[in-house]
Amino acid sequence: MNAQEIQEIRGQLFKQIFSVDPVSWVENNLTMDGESFGIRGKGRKYLVDIYRYIAINALKPNGKPIVIFKGRQVEASTMALALDFYFMASGIFGTPTHEEMLAGVKKLSRIKVLHCFPQDKQTDRFIKEKANPFMNSARDDIVNKMKLKNGADTDRIKQFIGDNSLFMESTGVTGDRLRNLSADVIFFDEFQDFVVRAISNTTKIQMASRHGPHGKGIQVYFGTPKEKGSFFEKTWDKSDKRYYNLLCKRCKRYFPMFVPGTEDWKEIWIREQIISCPHCHELQDKLQAVDNGKWIPTVKGAAYVGFHFNRFIHPDTTKELIMDLAPENNPLTTDREYRNEVLGEFSSGEATPMTPQIIGENCADLNRSISRVGSLTVPTYLGIDWGKKVDGLSGGSSYSVAVLIEAHGDVMKIVNAFKLDTRGFSKKIEIIEEIFKRYNVKQAVADMGYGEDLVAELQSRLMSRVLGWYHHANYRNPYKFKQHDYYIHANKDRMVEHAFELMKNGKIRFPFKQQANIEWLVDHCCSMEAAQKIVKGQVFNTYIKGSGPNDGLVALTYALLAYKFVMTRGFTMDIMKIRPFQVKNPKPLAITGYVPGMR
């Protein structure tokens, strides 16, 4: 049989087998919290088309990788998960049993699917909150019933009848941990956060793929965009950039509801679910126009197939909801969040100051773990951000955070970073004293805002080795320290900017050997929003806390400040004239036992 004949046979097999529609399989077999899982009809045709594209077209030998550029809360993760189960449990894929062969049952080759995330934390949350409940709520327990008896059945690896398998894993920053797997289909979930190296290494496990283009398999990249110039944007630019076009019931012409970077949607979307055709201005129902619509590519001959969609098109979304989410009407959303997560647009580079991707690419020490104890010869610098939670009072949920760094030339290594799992005053003091002993701390800086009493107590014990920090509004002379004063006055925006510059240049190193232990700190570093401020005609960057916690980043900026304080002898020397050197500490310090609460 030559290659063409094989392809013809595969083509016929395809036709035969796909008389079973993947969308009907999903609707008939899966439920959402016990409710029926309706995809067809009711304004979801845009999703139906993507389901079929991934489950049918992408599997063909001439299939292309798919990039889905989406806003938040558009059911894309659910779609990928429904397809994971479809591949595993529909009976369309798999090595036929002896009886099936005798009965002439036709199946497509066995299939191996990897659904991956950049971080362990994301994988665990997905399995616990989405995958397991979804799998266990299938009608007639079909997914569990299709599992291979005595096969692997853990949270992350599941084997199914016919040699199909599903892996839910994280790539980490290198993808090395997945090296021993093989896969036909890979879903890259939260694509915006992957490190490029991890993606290219992970796709190598598709060399022997039995589906999709030979030696390449099927890749589906989907995520919510962040900044311009990112790998996500570069990938999107390689695609045929499909936008979903609605069909006008009167003039029968197509029009996109939304195209990133344009404001035409404001004229098209009148109110609630009523839209106006931009060609003939007929008012009509959005859901109906969606169900009659189709995806239209805007680029010819592209290497990837690209789908863009956001919440606009979702059948439950009204214009009023979108307007309520706009930053001018909502103090809780920033311009960056609105653009990325609601509109599904890339934001300017300055608006997203730090991303897990930048840290993963530039700052990861892959072979270094967190140190439970400091070096005797290299001093450390400690930053402490006190949690807003005050004992006996309600409100505030963040813990206190400590970050320890060592300076190696001009490179700052994060030695350890942790949350102080206590809210008690004396317990906190005890832990900080223990850190001093264990880590050879040369200088610490701690927040005064929520910890004036804590800093005073620490200074009574450790003297000027602990300095308090106050924000100081001066952008031009951002650092100030008066002799015999135990407080530093420093500008928080300049401190954050300095930390980000160091990260972008790979000068802050994160211990990534056990990535799960440091992911929280990476997230804290990536939670800031940027804006600009003009002070006396000069432009300065300012940083505002985003939706997630940022205490770890704040503590890191204090640790950097402690280092700077020592190196400049209290900011009296010009930092530009100082050559970074290793400060020697002659006194080895006694190390006492384990203190509970310190991790």
Enumerate binding residues for Zn ion (CB under 5 A). Answer: 248, 250-251, 277, 279-280, 282
- Cα torsion angle, 559, 560, 562, 563, sign: positive
CA terminus-to-terminus distance, the chain = 63
**Total length of the chain:** 599
Q: Which two tokens stand for residue 587?
A: 């006194």
Q: Specify the DSSP class assigned to residue 437.
A: H
Cβ closest to Zn ion, residue 226 vs residue 286: 286
Per-residue buried b or exposed e for 535-563, using 16+ beta carbons within 10 Å of the residue's own CB:
eeeeebbbbeebeebbbbbbbbbbbbbbb
Cβ closest to Zn ion, residue 282 vs residue 350: 282
Q: Min. distance of Cβ 342 from Zn ion in angstroms?
A: 26
Cβ closest to Zn ion, residue 252 vs residue 471: 252
Q: Is 336 helix (H, G, I), strand (E, B) or coil?
A: helix
Are 86 and 55 a contacting pair, CB within 8 Å? yes
Q: Min. distance of Cβ 142 from Zn ion in angstroms?
A: 43
What is d(CA 158, CA 143) in angstroms, rounded to the nearest whole number?
A: 11
Q: Min. distance of Cβ 241 from Zn ion in angstroms?
A: 24
Closest CA to 446 of 461, 434, 456: 456
Cβ closest to Zn ion, residue 247 vs residue 407: 247
Cβ closest to Zn ion, residue 282 vs residue 410: 282
Cβ closest to Zn ion, residue 141 vs residue 282: 282
Q: Is 380 helix (H, G, I), strand (E, B) or coil?
A: strand
Q: Min. distance of Cβ 276 from Zn ion in angstroms?
A: 9
Q: Min. distance of Cβ 253 from Zn ion in angstroms?
A: 5
Cβ closest to Zn ion, residue 280 vs residue 376: 280
What is d(CA 281, CA 209) in angstroms, rounded to the nearest whole number?
A: 49
Cβ closest to Zn ion, residue 286 vs residue 489: 286
Distances (CA, A) of 188 to 191, 494, 526, 574: 6, 35, 20, 47
Q: Min. distance of Cβ 319 from Zn ion in angstroms?
A: 19
Cβ closest to Zn ion, residue 292 vs residue 459: 292
Q: Min. distance of Cβ 273 from Zn ion in angstroms?
A: 17
Q: Min. distance of Cβ 287 from Zn ion in angstroms?
A: 16
Q: Min. distance of Cβ 137 from Zn ion in angstroms?
A: 41
What is d(CA 244, CA 313) in angstroms, rounded to the nearest whole number?
A: 9
Q: Min. distance of Cβ 293 from Zn ion in angstroms?
A: 13
Closest CA to 278 of 259, 311, 253: 253
Q: Min. distance of Cβ 282 from Zn ion in angstroms?
A: 5
User: Strand 112-117 to strand 157-160: parallel, antiparallel, or no bridges (unpaired)?
Assistant: unpaired
What is d(CA 178, CA 175) in angstroms, rounded to the nearest whole number?
A: 6
Cβ closest to Zn ion, residue 61 vs residue 278: 278
Are 206 and 182 a contacting pair, CB within 8 Å? yes
Number of C-beta neighbours around residue 474 at 10 A: 13
Q: Min. distance of Cβ 43 from Zn ion in angstroms?
A: 18
Are 26 and 51 a contacting pair, CB within 8 Å? yes
Number of C-beta neighbours around residue 233 at 10 A: 15
Cβ closest to Zn ion, residue 214 vs residue 279: 279
Cβ closest to Zn ion, residue 155 vs residue 282: 282
Are 522 and 550 a contacting pair, CB within 8 Å? no
What is d(CA 348, CA 227) in angstroms, rounded to the nearest whole number?
A: 6
Q: Min. distance of Cβ 280 from Zn ion in angstroms?
A: 3
Beta carbons within 8 Å of 178's beta carbon, 6+ residues apart: 114, 116, 167, 169, 171, 201, 202, 205
Q: Which two tokens stand for residue 407?
A: 């300076």
Cβ closest to Zn ion, residue 194 vs residue 269: 269
Q: Is 57 exposed, middle or buried (0-12, 13-18, 19+ CB in 10 A)?
A: middle
Q: Min. distance of Cβ 225 from Zn ion in angstroms?
A: 31
- DSSP letter for each residue of 465-521: GEEEEEE---SSS-EEE-TT--EEEE-HHHHHHHHHHHHHTT-EEEE-TTHHHHHHH
Amino acid at 378: V
Cβ closest to Zn ion, residue 258 vs residue 487: 258
- DSSP letter for each residue of 194-248: --HHHHHHHHGGGTT-SSSSTTT-EEEEEE---BTTSHHHHHHHTB--EEEEEE-
